[in-house]
Amino acid sequence: MAGSDRRDEGGPSETARSEGAPVLAQDPHAVREPRQNNLEMAIGLEVRARRKDLGITVADLASATGLSPGMLSKIENGNISPSLTSLQALARALGLPITAFFRRYEEVRNAVFVRAGEGVELERRGTRAGHQYNLLGHIHENTSGVTVEPYLITLTTDSDVFPTFQHAGMEFLYMLEGEVVYRHGDQLFHMRPGDSLFFDADAPHGPEQLVTLPSRYLSIIAYPQSAAAP
């Protein structure tokens, strides 16, 4: 239940700021060149992905198909439109139907729109502790290989603390209303509206103290599609 101790955990565990600005692996606002959206690129990506899945080199694939390594490199990089004969040879060597080379070109990129108050209420591990979960969208199969689950979590006077959640993936919290002291491993974070927390969800985590109720925060969980749901 909600506690009365309004501790404010200071020091490094409160801010958890890294030294200097983070280095991002990609620009989230980048615009793809037109060539990256075309059929040749889609075929090349599929050939390379399948070849790596099989653990074979370009030289191995060249030997199996009768194509030169240079030609295969051009195909994988989307720099050339392979002939039907070449595609048939690749399909046989890679153990794929020829239509598999076109699926990345034809894939539908989905979007989910949820109106205010229309999130799907779900039962999760914390439900028995009085935590209310509203799923705000879900796309399982996508080209990134990652499943992302956004939740709106509400804590009330009927809620209990539960600092022992633990699951695969990464999690991001953004505090919207109220105050909680949130535990991650051996660190405590006093979270108020506007505060955020990003962490490896494999460590024990969860609300350690409910300071001001009701409390609401956004929780975004990301994990590999090959992993079980957290």
pLDDT in tens, 162-192: 999 999 999 999 999 999 999 999 999 999 9
Domains identified in the chain and CATH numbers: 12-24+112-224 (2.60.120.10), 34-106 (1.10.260.40)
50 Cβ partners below 8 Å, 6+ apart?
94, 96, 100
Note whether 163 and 127 are within 8 A (CB): no
pLDDT tens digit sequence for 54-88: 999 999 999 999 999 999 999 998 888 899 899 99
Average pLDDT, integer, range 22-40: 64
Note whether 161 and 206 are within 8 A (CB): yes
3-state helix, strand, coil in the chain (%, to 5): 30, 25, 45
Taking the C-alpha atoms of residue 203 and residue 79, their distance in angstroms, rounded to an integer, is 45
Alpha carbon distances (Å) from 201 to 53, 105, 165, 205:
28, 34, 8, 7
Instruction: Check residue 167 and give left, alpha or beta (phi > 0: left; psi -120 to 50: alpha).
Output: beta
More confident residue, 6 or 167: 167
| Statement: the pTM of the whole predicted model exceeds 0.75 | no
- The tokens describing 61, both together, are 């694939």
Taking the C-alpha atoms of residue 126 and residue 36, their distance in angstroms, rounded to an integer, is 43
One-character DSSP codes across 114-133: --TT-PEEE--GGGGGT-EE
Tell me which residue of 111, 89, 112, 109 sits closest to 101, measured CA to CA. Answer: 89
Lowest mean pLDDT among 5-14, 81-90, 102-111, 216-225: 5-14
Taking the C-alpha atoms of residue 219 and residue 182, their distance in angstroms, rounded to an integer, is 13
Taking the C-alpha atoms of residue 203 and residue 168, their distance in angstroms, rounded to an integer, is 9
Tell me which residue of 207, 156, 218, 199 sits closest to 181, measured CA to CA. Answer: 207
The predicted structure's pLDDT at residue 206? 95
